Structure 1
Amino acid sequence: MAETASARAASPPKRAAVRYIGLDIHKAYFVATGVNAQQQIIFGPQRVTNAELENWVKKHLNKEDAVVLEMTTNTYLFYDLLEPLVHSVTVVHPPHVALITRAQVKTDRKAAHGLAQLHAAGLLVSIWIPPQPVREMRALIAQRYKMVRLCTLAKNRLANVLHRHNFDKPPGSQPFHLKHKDWWLALPIKGIEKINLECDWEMVEFAERMKKRFEQEIAKAAASDPRAPLLVQLPGLSIIGAVTVLAAIGDIKRFPDADHLTGYAGLGARVHISGQMHQTGRITKAGRKDLRYIMVEAANHASRGHPKWKELFKKLEPRLGRSKALVAIARKMLVVIWHLLTDEAADKFSDPHQVACAMYAFFYKVGARNMPPGLKALPYVRQQLDRLGLDCPSIRWGRKRYKIPPSPASQSPPMTEVVAEPA
């Protein structure tokens, strides 16, 4: 039976921690120091190899220990192991630990001791630790981006070969398409340059193959996440863009308002207000780079194709310039995303036909194999339109027009005859 609100209110409060353990973790080892509530050292310092972490935790820590550590490459490993065995685990952003990072004398022992003292004094703010599915999706998005960069580097080196020797490009609009591989390999070059060209083509093939593999997994994630269709209704957000935003944000309930979300993306303006001074500046860029990047890309697309964003861009560009205008639109689009995910509703400036087309494209790009069995594209479009409170009788796709099935709510039930009972 589900726990009631009154039962939750009557549950005893969690006991306060007795020891505060600071961990200064590194690639191969960590240093641990513990203090009490009066910030007196009562444990350590101890230097332990990471291979001994599990045994060390079970031997020395318990449910009365509040552990604090900084965010780094292997923090998730420590967090997952410690969290069920101790009182609490607090992960802090290193730049926020000013008393440690600005110290003139900094050693591993001093860092662990400083973390423990600051935690005991209640001066540290924990960052959000994403659950395992969000971590995996972030890693998948990052790995795909690495493959895109790798492919771009290889193609640039291939283009340099043409430039150095004044060769013409291969026929067609896609000079680096795999169908032109034989053309590239037949270029009249020799020696090391020939070997480099062959290696670059192998790199292009590898990167394209890996990118396709990652995109298949991203499509599966988009199909299973009910939030993804809410985002693809916005212009400029593809499946990759929508999943990137969702992976970066995590749970939208973490952000009490849209300003917190824009600050998390680093799209908020710098502000210095003190006394008679009131100064604002460029965006902070103090947030997730992937979220900021994908929103600027979406703004670039939306400012060219959507009436609302196109009009806003024309208004901002003369005053701010192209780049700053796009950043301003990216911020406004992120505000819209906060409302879409919070309210699970349609964008008030959306065109029902464009939204229907976006849902139709989303279905086929994700793939019917990743959708519920038996679900077709047009009924899926109707489901999403009903979910958003929109209506569109048909969509134009290419040279054809497809009729969207009517909403089940609009179909009146058959009338039944009421026969009066005899008096």
Structure 2
Amino acid sequence: MNDSIFVGLDVHKATISAAVAEGMRGGEVRNLGIIPNRADQIAKLAKKLGKGGRQVSFCYEAGPCGYGLRQLTGLGHNCIVVAPSLIPMKAGDRVKTDRRDAAMLAKLHRNGELTAVWVPDAAHEAMRDLVRARATAMRVLGKARQHLQGFLLRHGRIYAGKKGWTLAYRRWLTTVRFDHPASQIVLQDYIHAVTDAEARVDCLTKRIEELAPQWSMTPFVEAVQAMRGVAFIVAVTVVAEVGDFSRVARRSGWKAASIKVREFRWARDVGRA
């Protein structure tokens, strides 16, 4: 442990504040300053700290900057990502600055008091981004349909059928007319918004279907599909979001059950077109 150092990084879009905790518990903790959040600067810092064969272990909080610091593991260093909600905090210690946060992370990392979160590899993250893009498109589609239906309801145009968005409903939409041309323009714009959103969902769904066979998690997708009532998109969504299923297996029974229910409900909702 004496030849090891532990580095805490407070990561922002443009800058990174770094601090280092030396060796054993109780050793010196010092701030290294602020560096630009650029790959070359991060590599330069890692090289400087690893001189003489010292083992360097990095940590930083999960945040909106993503997993760009994967390069540290690529350089041969240990690097963990920490969930902010799992970082031990002392009562009354509410003053937060970049320097203090980096030093706190370095110290806690050295003491073994940080809980690392699962980090997807680049391929898994890319697939998850694609799945989430489709989920976003589904929400946009839902909003577009609501806007159209709200407009029709407000103007007393009521569909006599039992179910919306069927072929019969779409044929009915083509028969709706307004006296004022402005209202007709609004109707067509809302209809176009719906068709555009549907096309986006269909396109992303096809891309997922095309790329899924090349994904390393495909066996898990097939296993989840083996469950009754679980369709392909739902299975892909669950696998993309859960990632490492051992994380769920390690949870207590009721927690595992509750997280599975929430994930399947969410996946089921985003899978509906």
Give the TM-score normalised by the residue count of structure 1.
0.54
Paired amino acid for 1:244: T
Partner of 2:43: 58
Paired position in structure 2 for 1:229: 222
SS across alignment from 1:144: helix
> Partner of 1:144 in structure 2?
134
Q: What is the Cα deviation at residue 139 of structure 1?
A: 1.2
Matched-pair contact (CA < 8 Å) for 2:234–2:264: no
Cross-structure match for 2:72: 82
Identity %: 24
Assess, with a 3 A threshold, how the Cα gap between structure 1 residues 134 and 189 changes in structure 2: closer, same or farther. Answer: farther
Partner of 2:204: 214
Specify the alignment match of 1:415 in structure 2: none
CA shift, 1:267, in A, is 3.3
Relative to structure 1, the CA distance from residue 142 to residue 56 in structure 2 (aligned partners, 3 Å threshold; closer, same or farther) is same
Residue 200 (structure 1) aligns with: 190
The aligned counterpart of 2:267 is 294
* Offset, 1:25: 1.0
After TM superposition, which residue ranges in structure 1, 4 or more long, deviate above 6 angstroms? Answer: 295-298
Asked if structure 2 preserves the Cα contact closer than 8 Å seen for 1:140 and 1:214, the reply is yes
Query: Match for residue 14 of structure 2?
Result: 28
Cα distance between partner residues in 1 of 2:43 and 2:226:
50
Measured in 2, the distance between the counterparts of 1:159 and 1:262 equals 40
The alpha-carbon deviation at position 147 of structure 1 amounts to: 0.9
TM-score, normalised relative to structure 2: 0.80
Shift of 1:160: 1.3
Equivalent residue, structure 1, for 2:155: 165
- Larger RCO of the pair (alpha carbons < 8 Å, separation 6+): 2
Show the 5 A alignment for 1:49-128. 49-50=36-37, 53-62=38-47, 63=50, 64-78=55-69, 80-99=70-89, 103-128=93-118
The structure with the larger Rg is 1
Contact 2:15/2:35 (<8 A) preserved: yes
Kept after mapping to 2: 8 A contact 1:170/1:183:
no
**Aligned partners of 1:35 and 1:117 also within 8 Å:** yes
Residues 260/138 of structure 1: CA separation in 2 closer, same or farther (3 Å cut): farther
Kept in 1, the 8 Å contact 2:9–2:59? The answer is yes
Deviation of 1:89 after TM superposition, in Å, equals: 0.3
* 1:24–1:70 contact (8 Å) kept in structure 2: yes
Shift of 1:172: 8.4
User: Which residue of the partner structure matches residue 29 of structure 2?
Assistant: 41
CA contact under 8 A between 1:32 and 1:47: conserved in structure 2? yes
Cα distance change on mapping 1:236 and 1:17 into 2, 3 Å: farther
For residues 220 and 262 of structure 1, the distance between their equivalents in structure 2, rounded to whole angstroms, comes to 36
Contact 1:35 1:120 survives alignment (8 Å):
yes
Per the TM alignment, residue 113 of structure 1 is displaced from its structure 2 partner at its CA by 1.0
- Distance between the aligned counterparts of 1:124 and 1:111, measured in 2? 13
What's the C-alpha RMSD, in Å, of the aligned pairs? Answer: 3.2
Residue 246 of structure 1: which of 239, 257, 270 is its match? 239
Q: Describe the SS at the equivalent of 1:91.
A: strand
1:169 touches 1:175 (CA, 8 Å); kept in 2?
no
Aligned counterparts, 1:268-347, within 5 A: 290-291=263-264, 293-294=266-267
Q: Number of aligned residue pairs: give it.
A: 258
Deviation at 1:242, TM superposition (A): 1.0
Contact persistence 2:31–2:99 (CA under 8 A)? no
Counterpart AA for 1:217: R
**Paired position in structure 2 for 1:333:** none
Is the 1:22–1:67 contact (alpha carbons within 8 Å) kept by the matching residues of 2? yes
Matched residue type, 2:44: K
* SS of corresponding position for 1:197: helix
